[in-house]
Structure 1
């Protein structure tokens, strides 16, 4: 099986990239699966929902080539893994823009007779968020629950993509940063466990 791991961080030496790399190593170490990394920052993906995107949404234009390429990359995947730093209790703007532009009507979902048809039930999702605050802050303020509502439910459930893993790694975690790398490796080894 094949996993697509998507990151969005401009610093190639960032903890986010190291976690993603270890996750990929975990997937490949099983000897049965492959992985592709999509580094939106390095690839220069344009996250802006532009006039052409709006025209497509209204049925006035075809899907742009950059969006089509991302959809094709996702179509080749048996699982999607997002590894991202938490910015303002959500995705970085570039990753959110990738969702806005790629997970569109006609591909991720449809509307028929006033109801939503979820089209991504075949695409299990694994989320690995990396934050700087401590666990008490996330729990006291309800931030992680809010992120799960917004991302797990509001985006992926809306499209029918089941969220299998939703992890929050924090800089205050015991054994940081090595504990994050170990967990990422283990997550990678289990990405397809529910499908085997």
Structure 2
């Protein structure tokens, strides 16, 4: 299978980067093809501008958007790895979704409503956040994050969400806690993509 990992964290020494490495290594070990799009490394332009929209309507998709759409089109599985900031996606990843998952590419509309153009693909999300998991669970934030990303982005465009891992208390765990997170990532990847 072909996996596209869209990664959004500015610090190469972060836990998110360790999660990225663990994910890539587990997938490759299982014989999968992996492409990583590190949005910070790419200096991806996240702002959807009026000229982008006009160009796409005219059939002249800007090159940076077209490149990312080609990676999405070729992938069997799309994996997002990112920290939860202010209860959502980092701006660079939100902008990636705004620009790349565009009308006419990821979805369209017809007499029956939304037409999902990315059907047949699977989606997988890995998040980190500083708040303890129990707090997010209790206030409904965990469920809210899953609805907005799994349903609002993936399912809306036809991508089948298969898993969404959320790791809390980041910055407050001991070494064993971080090792457990990386083990959980590897075990989960192996359970879905062995």
Structure-2-length-normalised TM-score: 0.92
Distance in 2 separating the partners of 1:56 and 1:176: 48
Match of 1:46 in 2: 45
Give SS of 1:70's match.
Answer: helix
CA positional deviation for 1:15: 0.8
* Gaps in structure 1 of 5+ consecutive residues: none
4+ aligned runs moved over 6 Å, structure 1: none
Question: Which stretches in structure 2 are left out of the alignment for 5+ residues?
Answer: none
TM-score by length of 1: 0.91
State how far apart, in whole Å, the 2-side matches of 1:13 and 1:107 are. Answer: 34
Q: CA deviation at 1:140?
A: 2.1
Query: How many residue pairs end up in the alignment?
Result: 191
- Aligned counterparts of 2:117 and 2:164: Cα–Cα separation in 1: 21
Distance, in Å, in 2 between the alignment partners of 1:156 and 1:48 is 20
Q: Secondary structure at the match of 1:91?
A: coil
Contact kept in structure 2, 1:169 and 1:180, CA below 8 Å: yes
Give 1:96 deviation, angstroms.
0.6
Give the superposition deviation at 1:61.
Answer: 5.5
Cross-structure match for 2:191: 190
Q: 1:97 aligns with which of 95, 98, 110?
A: 95
How does 1:1-196 map onto structure 2 within 5 Å? 1-30=1-30, 32-56=31-55, 59-60=57-58, 62-113=60-111, 115-170=113-168, 171=170, 175-192=176-193
RMSD: 1.7
